[in-house]
Amino acid sequence: MVTKDDKYNRICWSGEESKPTDETQSAHWKLYHDAMNLMKPNSVCLDVGCGFGGGSMILSRKCSKIMGIDVGKDAIDYANKFHKMPNIEYLETSIEDFPQDKKFDFICFIAVIEHLDSERLAIDKCYKMLNQDGIMMIYWCSANYNEDEIKNILKGYDYELTYETDLRSPYWWSIMRMI
């Protein structure tokens, strides 16, 4: 019998075989709380790379509807078993394969953009799925990007780029909010 803790020990954010440290997990949850603070009440939200669904549950407190997507089958199975709420739907898919006919008030990429083959294509697709006054928030991993690379990827968009230095983890360094 696989318990919730056993399953969690094998799943990182996207079904990867590792267990996050308390430090990275704490920083990860802080990022979801930061995202929730930017959302308007009753937002319709897309959580790209939702992993096992813990972050989607945090966001669900302020959303009328949230869709969490992830490529990890084990992660989505776990989310559906342990983090299912009436206003959350989990779907095993990539952002590249996700249907573009839906509209969202808030789209977040938390610790996922650096895993995509084409960041720009994913951002372009999500930008088209934003409602007119919607917000897209991306948390970048500094191990993979420098400021110039981020600015190049975001060229042509209106955005606000801020830097966080107190996130309890050296890996999180920038917050991007598309406006």
* For the chain, percent of residues with pLDDT exceeding 90: 39
Residue 142 confidence (pLDDT): 58
In the chain, which residue ranges form alpha helices assigned H by DSSP? 4-10, 22-38, 54-60, 73-82, 119-129, 147-153
Q: Are 14 and 51 in contact (CB under 8 A)?
A: yes
The neighbouring-strand residues paired with 178 are: 136, 159
pLDDT tens digits along 9-56: 333 333 333 445 555 556 667 788 888 888 899 999 999 999 999 999
For the chain, the structural domain boundaries read 4-178
pLDDT tens digits along 49-82: 999 999 999 999 999 999 999 999 999 999 999 9
The three-class DSSP label of residue 120 is helix
The neighbouring-strand residues paired with 60 are: none
Q: Are 47 and 73 in contact (CB under 8 A)?
A: no
Measured between its terminal Cα atoms, the distance across the chain in Å is 47
Query: Looking at residue 53, what DSSP letter applies?
Result: S
Q: Is the pLDDT of residue 109 over 80?
A: yes
Residue 144 confidence (pLDDT): 65
CATH 3.40.50.150 fits domain 4-178:
yes
**Residues 56, 131, 141, CA angle at the centre, nearest 5°?**
50
* Mean predicted confidence (pLDDT) in 137-154: 73
* Helices and strands (DSSP H and E) totals, the chain: 6, 7
- Full-model pTM: 0.79
The three-class DSSP label of residue 87 is coil
What value does the mean pLDDT of the chain take? 77
